Structure 1
Amino acid sequence: MTVYLAAAGIFVCIVFLRILYETHTFRVTRYEVRSDKFPEMMKDWKIVFLSDLHNQEYGEKNQKLIDAIRKERPDLILVGGDMLIRGKEAEIFPAVRFMEAMTKICPVYCANGNHEQQMKEGMERYGDTYANYRAHLVSHGVHMLENETALLTIGGMESEISGIEIPVRYYGKGLPWKGKKKFEGADVEELQKKMESSRDRLGKEEPYRIFLVHQPLYAEEYEKWGADLILCGHLHGGIVRLPFLGGVISPQLTLFPKYSGGHYKKKESDIIVSKGLGTHSFTVRLFNRAEVVVITGKKKNQRPE
């Protein structure tokens, strides 16, 4: 019995140390995307995708994280939301300081996650906190996309980047066997209309379309809206990851969520879900390191490196 207790104690210590390590370090995860929409003369492009920082800091004022991102020399930085933790005014400033540093590397486009959305929808509780947060980011040069689309050129290729705000009710918690709430209603139809390609409206050739949308549970619906690359976060990699099964649980308390973290292919769309950079509610990561996601766009006839 003593031997078993000792073994159990050692195992618990190892798991604790591993969690401590994973909640205080991050890695760079790399993906490649290819598309028939990429023009023949397109240059390879690089995007850094960030999500779910939740005011986490790696080094003083996040200098380790900033240095790692700068080293990648990205063409764009895209932010998928939840960079802060909803709350009082003072809690916005770590995220503001970090986002200001990002704008000194390259252009930054940002969508909201559920924490920003809760502050935005809940003014009776949070007051002007979201409005002040947004104003700080815009003043530093961050392009905020709140159900809006930006047209830009990347690698010589015309692109659209759309930031999609999912209403707070689609983040609600449920029992593990309950599944996801149906993504439907007048507000969803209105959201879909807003995401129609501006090139469609102008009658021009369809550009490469990138959707920044925090909630990955409805990725298949976003694909139907015409996205070529869908960038999500929110699930923190499923907190604990298991071989062949992926993430164990979502913030909605859904067991083994389909899109917990990684690169998924759906017809002609790429779905990339960040495992996030921070934690919230449960300060736990196991076999699931925080990550900076680096996405490289390459022509289809190009050999993988």
Structure 2
Amino acid sequence: MRLAETVTFGGSGLNRAAELRGDAVAQADMLARGRVLPVWRGKPLMQADGLGWVGSDSVVLHHAGAPVFLGFDADQPCFAADISDWLPEAGAEAVQAGFMDTSVQRHPGLPDSFAFAELRAAMLRLTAREAELAATAKAVLQWHRSHGFCAVCGAASAPVMAGWQRSCPACGAQHFPRTDPVVIMLVTHGNRALLGRSPVWPEGMYSCLAGFVEPGETVEAAVRREVWEEAGIRLGAVRYLSSQPWPFPASLMLGCAAEAETEAITLDPAELEHALWVTREDMVSVMAGTHPQIKPARKGAIAHFLIQNWLADRLD
């Protein structure tokens, strides 16, 4: 797909400079002259015009864990740091439960123009480079928070290699950030596309079907299995289109196109609340937000990207 990497969080050509991760002297020098993206409980620091970078001596980082080296934006070294141990002052907005947290948190050591915000709510206002940096920061820092102990012997592990590895001092095991592959598929049958909705989604919201790739499974097999399990539809040809890093918390969405060989829908109620075939004509109004029953997938998500390009005949 020629437009594959224009998806949100797609490749911006970030120079990750992996060869410098093990160079402690270079890392210290780059941190001193570089910039740091603080992340609080999965929320990157934002400003009105993009990400909220701070210097390595910022008061915000007094609560920070070991910084992770993200790479270079032009000649600028970029790092991320988890400050999730910081507690907002009394009276700060509480983190909201639900489909997406829309609350923001402000640090007293920063101007009011800075705030920690949910990345899904802010991703469309980021440049391609900012989006890649933010996705990388959020995913790697979340991995550190959830993998603090050795999976081999259970001892506490420590970050090494500029945050791109954890080392166990007890048994010597080395652990690396994980990414979970997820297939998401635009299933078509003639002039129609298949949409489904999870019971926990906002009222009326529909999207492409998706599911995790299982061990020992190809991408194509995962597409066919998931659609059969969730909707009872048999697929024919399956082809890969595009991928999207999706750091919620650490998925890689593998976008595919699939041709349905059957059309009768048999739902798995544990996975889907509803699924239906939508004609191309109706999908135009869905994507425009004018359909009376169906709301589109969130802008910035690969499902929205795939459907949009299907309508424009750009899935090549």
TM-score by length of 1: 0.24
Structure number with higher relative contact order (C-alpha < 8 Å, ≥ 6 residues apart):
1
Q: Which has the higher helix share?
A: 1
TM-score by length of 2: 0.23
User: Is the radius of gyration larger for structure 1 or structure 2?
Assistant: 2
